[in-house]
């Protein structure tokens, strides 16, 4: 488990998704660290940003898969659900116009 934290796409542009979750049960900075490390342990997760005050967690991920994010949080005791309308595809890398199939 521990050795597969980062998957580097080789020389290709990647479609990155920003996934917004509502996570309850986190109340202190140690919860934030716990949630962050639980999510970062999953494949393709590049960045996790936790907002303690409004309960939102933004995950930047190389896929738009969300089921395992939510499952990992629930398993750790933090009830989580997808924030409405909150998976956004972000094209990384430059130079390609819309409709381009190079990803």
- Interface with Cu ion by CB under 5 A: which residues? 28, 30-31
Residue 37: HSE in the Cβ half-sphere, 13 Å Cα cutoff: 8
Residues linked to residue 59 through DSSP beta bridges, in sequence order: 19, 48
Least Å distance, CB 10 to Cu ion, is 38
3-class state of residue 37 by DSSP: helix
Q: Which is nearer to Cu ion, 52 or 87 (CB)?
A: 52
Q: Which is nearer to Cu ion, 52 or 62 (CB)?
A: 52
Least Å distance, CB 33 to Cu ion, is 9
Least Å distance, CB 44 to Cu ion, is 26
How far from chain centre, in Å, is Cα 48?
6
């Amino acid at each position: 488990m521990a050795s597969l934290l980062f998957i580097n796409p080789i020389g290709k542009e990647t479609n990155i998704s920003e996934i917004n979750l509502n996570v309850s049960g986190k109340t202190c900075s140690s919860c934030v660290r716990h949630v962050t490390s639980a999510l970062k342990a999953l494949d393709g997760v590049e960045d996790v940003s936790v907002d303690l005050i409004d309960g939102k967690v933004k995950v930047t991920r190389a896929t738009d898969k969300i089921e395992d994010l939510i499952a990992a949080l629930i398993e750790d005791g933090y009830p989580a659900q997808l924030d409405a309308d909150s998976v956004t595809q972000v094209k990384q890398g430059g130079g390609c116009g819309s409709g381009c199939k190079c990803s």
